[in-house]
Amino acid sequence: MPATVEFLPESGAPSLLFLLFHGVGLDADAMRPLAEPLVAEYPQAAVVSINAPHAYEGPTSGRPGYQWFSPVGIDDATRRDRVRAALPEFVAVVRSLTARFGLPWQHTALAGFSQGAVMALEAVQAEPNLAGRVLAFGGRHATLPEHAPVDTTVHLFHGMADTVIPHGPAVEAAKRLVTLGGDVTADVLPGISHELHPLLVDKAIGQLRTFVPRKVWEAAMREAPLMSRPASSTELGGD
């Protein structure tokens, strides 16, 4: 299991689990700008930020960094292959932490930035019943989705000024998931580059608070009582 930075409830067992995955060349501590607002909003949640398992192979920033797959010489074809190769280890980490906290997969959310977002998005595409939500910041699918993940809500957050991973593929994937009947939101904000920006974090907290998955709406509509129509004048005895 890769090293983690953990925020646990002050008392009692957690009722929700947020698993956070950093960008390439960073580490678990880089996800604090998201972890701390999640802790404040959900004090009974376990928020766990996870180091990717492999040493970073790109230019160094002066501190150790980690990766799920190498960014060296990356293009669309190599990204697909490298993500596919990394997925079993990623899924195993998610399954292990969900089991550790004894929570159902529906109470688990995966949140990633950049490469971490790529891994989270592709994991729920490849693995059924892995997480109830995905929060993807500055990421993209490695492959345009061919199906919507069942009972998993996907939230995409991107800056319009992002030149590392432009927002176009995220918007395209959101449109595809909607067409496929999935639950998806996409927030693309101007003036934000490739970063875990506070405005994007605020959008994420807002989506967690307010977004109602389609299945919940449909169940509520089925269970709602039929509205009685107004009685006509004839039924009321009028002329």
Q: For this structure, is 202 an active site residue?
A: no
Catalytic hit among 22, 158, 167, 194: 194
Output the CA torsion sign for 219, 204, 35, 129. positive
Q: Write phi, then psi, for 45 (nearest 5 degrees).
A: -95, 150
Rounded Cα gap, residues 38 and 56, in angstroms: 27
Q: For this structure, is 162 an active site residue?
A: yes
Place of tokens 């919507």: 148
Catalytic hit among 22, 49, 114, 141: 114
**How far is CA 73 from each of CA 79, 97, 109, 120, 196, rounded to the nearest angstrom?**
9, 32, 31, 22, 24
Q: For this structure, is 96 an active site residue?
A: no
**Burial track 61-92 (b if 16+ CB lie within 10 A, e otherwise):** eeeebbbbbebeeeeeeebeebbeebbeebbe
Catalytic hit among 27, 162, 183, 187: 162
Give Cα 228 distance to the centre of its chain: 41
Q: Which element (helix H / strand E) includes 199? A: helix 198-210
- The catalytic site residues sit at 114, 162, 194
